[in-house]
Amino acid sequence: MKVSEKLQSSAQKVQEALTALGLPCQVVELPASTRTAQEAAQAIGCTVAQIVKSLIFRGTRTGKPILVLASGVNRVNEKRLGEMAGEPIGKADADFVRQHTGFAIGGVPPVGHSTPIETYIDADLLQYQEIWAAAGTPRAVFRLIPQDLQKMNHGSIVSIQ
Ligand code: 5CA
């Protein structure tokens, strides 16, 4: 795997957040796109299920952002998410995602957001010894163990489907 020498600023921001949490994770920028879970799995050489999708939703009553860290193969059941969050859930648009995370869609990481975000972690991710998440840009990723996700946002581990 080729690791470029200097990270782009968004990827560097994620690396700094990881380091600040005391996690040993290292952000790498790949030559191929990691913009979607499918592309990331191909570029990394892991299964799509081992990719962490960092998905932003919006509480329709409060307007607050909700982060779901989902296995690449799973779809979020918005009705159940709404029950867990205590309000109906809607989709977030690109501007909303950038405003609340500080990152653009395709590179949204599970850590290092502009403000803390209520987080739900897909229990299916816990079965893997290593998983990979986006690191700020559509080519940047980092490897982690599922337990690290909990240290990032103190998210609840739930079944998201
Ligand atoms: N870099 C990869 C993982 S390493 C990644 O970010 N994958 S992702 O699945 O977390 O991000 C893509 C997700 O962004 C899609 O699954 C979708 O939920 C969301 N998305 C894509 N286009 C839009 C859009 N126009 N508005 C809101 N969300 C979108």
CATH number of the CATH domain containing 58: 3.90.960.10
Report which ligand 1 atom has the smallest distance to the Cα of 138.
Answer: 1
Contact present, 50 and 134 (Cβ < 8 Å): no
Q: What is the pLDDT of residue 137?
A: 98
**What spacing in Å lies between the alpha carbon of 104 and ligand 1's midpoint?**
9
The residue behind tokens 């859930």 is 89
The answer to whether 30 and 124 have CB atoms below 8 angstroms apart is no
Range of the structural domain that residue 64 is part of: 9-158
Residue with tokens 């700020």: 136
Out of 14, 27, 36, 69, mutate this one to test ligand 1's pocket (max ligand atoms within 8 Å of CB): namely: 36
Question: With a cut of 70, which residues of the chain have pLDDT below it?
Answer: 1-5
DSSP 14-51: HHHHHHHTT----EEE-SS--SSHHHHHHHHTS-GGGE
1 falls within a domain: no
Give the C-alpha separation, 123 to 117, whole Å.
Answer: 18
pLDDT at residue number 127: 98
Residue type, 25: C
- Domain membership flag for residue 2: no
**How far does the centroid of ligand 1 lie from the alpha carbon of residue 24, in Å?**
26
- Overall number of domains in the chain: 1
Report strand pairing: 118-122 vs 89-91: unpaired
In whole angstroms, give the CA distance from residue 39 to residue 124.
20
Q: pTM of this prediction?
A: 0.95
Domain assignment present for residue 3? The answer is no
Please tell me the residue having the least CA distance from ligand 1 atom 7: 36
